[in-house]
Amino acid sequence: MAPSAGAGRIVTSAGYSLASAQVVELARWGLAVALVLLALAAIALLFLAARRRRIEPEPIPEPVVTSSSPPPPPPPRRAAAVVRRPPPMRPSVSLAGGALAVVSSTGLVCPTCRTEYQGQTFCERDARRLVPPEEMLAGARSAGGMCTSCGRAFDPGLRRCPHDGGDVIPAVLFMATRRRREVAATGVLAKVCPVCRERSDLSARFCGRDGQELVVIN
């Protein structure tokens, strides 16, 4: 039995509807793909722009030149005033000839010849026991007396030398009647004490530790 004309028209219209639906579906998919590609392209452009901003160095701002005059320099600092104090004066004692001899507070002085020593107990010239310079300044010590035989000096009051029995006369009279040769230190330790075996300079006569008479080393 042959198909009728109405049935053929229905089949043809159904085929056109199916084809048009497929075209619309493909168009939708194509539009979606295009939107996705555009979005990806936009993201890529933004990423590249941000990267270029990080790589490109920031421009250095130019110094602003103003027409105002530069600030005045600070005033110079004044140096602090230095107060110089004079050195302390050392005590002095009068010598037999009327001169003044300056002595330090750490040394000891012979009351007879006014010679200063460091680290000694007796005078190497007259075997007199040494005293602090303050006693000399206070007038508590006098020149005393000296033996006419051995030349040792003693405190006032003795008339005979306890070592050799010689006469003891005032030290001022002894120095006035007998010239004592001043011998400077030679730096040669050529004398020795027979008691303590301490060596002394060749110019010394008596030991500065115990007051014994020195002997020359052979």
For position 73, what pLDDT does the model report? 76
Alpha-helical regions (H) of the chain: 5-55, 133-138, 171-177
How crowded is the C-beta side of 209, counted as CA atoms within 13 Å?
Answer: 10
Q: Is residue 197 situated within a structural domain?
A: yes
For position 101, what pLDDT does the model report? 47
Q: Is residue 156 situated within a structural domain?
A: no
For position 184, what pLDDT does the model report? 79
Q: Which residues contact 117 (CB under 8 A, 6 or more apart)?
A: 107, 108, 109, 110, 123, 124, 130, 208
Q: Is residue 193 situated within a structural domain?
A: yes
- Number of domains within the chain: 1
Q: Is residue 202 situated within a structural domain?
A: yes
Local confidence pLDDT in tens for the 218 residues of the chain:
445 555 555 556 666 677 777 878 888 888 888 888 888 888 888 888 887 777 655 666 665 555 556 677 777 766 554 445 444 444 444 444 444 444 445 789 999 988 999 999 999 999 999 999 888 877 767 889 999 999 999 999 899 999 999 999 999 899 888 766 667 788 899 999 999 999 999 999 999 999 999 999 97
Q: Is residue 88 situated within a structural domain?
A: no
Q: What would the two tokens of residue 23 be?
A: 């075209």
Structural domain boundaries enclosing 207? 183-218
The total number of residues shown for the chain amounts to 218
